[in-house]
Structure 1
Amino acid sequence: MKSKTKSTLWIGIVLVAILFAMMIISFVYLPHDVNEMNIQSRLQAPGDVHWFGTDNFGRDIFSRVMEASRTAFAVGLVSVAIGLTGGFVIGATAGYVGRWADETLMRIVDALLAFPGILLALILVTVFEPSLFQTMIAIGILSIPNFARVIRSGFLQFKQAEFVRAARGLGAGHGTLIFRHMMPHVISPVIVAASLSFSTAILVEAALSYLGLGVQPPDPSWGRMLNESQSYISKAPWFALAPGLFITLTVLGFNLLGDGIRDLRDQRA
């Protein structure tokens, strides 16, 4: 069991590290200009010049996939930050205060969870002008309930722990109890939730961009590239294969990373 856990964790780490390195490299080096069109080279098969081939406008697919990784990681980081911040405020308040605060806040969380995630994202994005910023805000709001429930559970578990009661008896204030004594014990499940939320954010962003409600052209996005490739599946399958493969690897990497951390935490518990 331990070897399986370590394998899952290390596969996730390796995949995420490779994709993160590709994203960092894209800031300093791209094989081709991502928006440079060459009609004579349109739908060119993978080769020495264009490793992943070209799209319907003759643009280099590998370069566009590399730059689109910036969007994926940006959406993941910002949405997780928004979800974690909102989830901490709601979850910590509900778990620490309890009583009416817990009931009221958790009913709000339940109401958010009652909506299918992608439907709520579509509503939030279509209310405003579709853009990367609106997409990140919408996905961040979607992730608040998951973080809130995880943090609330941790605070309920440790609120009456002996070390917390001892600190309270010694005169520790609410801030000290929350951030110094309770929050460190909640970090581990929060990291797992953040890893899984990161992969969900990438999937939702790809879905919204595929529908034309996320990243707007000419900026590249894996979901947008899938949308552009659907008319050329039989003629140029590599056009759809590249963005689809990177979406799969990124989501798989973060899911394996989260599963590995969770299993490792359960073994130590």
Structure 2
Amino acid sequence: MDLFGGYSAVAIAAALVTAFGSAFVRGLTGFGMAILIVPVLALALSPVDAVLLTNFLSVFIGLTEIRRLLRGAEKSAWVIIALVALTTPVGLYLLSVTTPALARVVIAFIALSAFIAILLPRRGALEHHPATTGGVGILSGLMTGYAGMPGPPVVPYYVGRDIPRETAKASMLLIFTCASSTGLISGAAIGVLDWSLLLFAVLLFPAVLAGNWLGNKASGRIEDRTWRICVGLVLGGAALAALWKAFS
């Protein structure tokens, strides 16, 4: 049986469960929603639609906590956001003209590199060179457009440094919210945004809201070391899944 937009009941149910689970991970770690939900959505949607639907959800949930993010984010987040705005259209254009197989390979290797980076020794709070910040912003923008996943470059940059957990989370989530907004604007500008996805996003948003709330609750009850282990596990799992999908 097909429901609105031609999506089957099974596809919508799978999307709801995945939206809840990925949002829980977002609330717990400060990232991970796009990494987890895009591959599942791509089973029922085109890669471009899966990316843009995820962008809608990221913007929705980001706006519900924007005051906290603005208050807690590090100044470097704004440099990264500016570069993401410049490079996201390039990534989205590349996605629209390349094959899904090639996209999966690129995403897999970037996810793997993020996992390796998170295993490196933690760095001091001041040890972030402007060139590093710039590189993170450019790569994050390309990944936002190409895969709806700004996280792989951003997560090691913040989590791998010796800064407070809440500063890292607020900085990452502010970047992800702005990156997703840029993705939607870019999609509309180049003519690949299907506005029916907005309705699908509204349907999924209650599951995202509930999952994110529970994840935030859980995050407040675990130690910093445990939180960093959770971050590493999510990145590692995403990298393995991306590699399997790319080469299977």
TM-score by length of 1: 0.31
Structure with bigger RCO (C-alpha 8 Å, 6+ apart): 2
Greater radius of gyration (CA) = 1
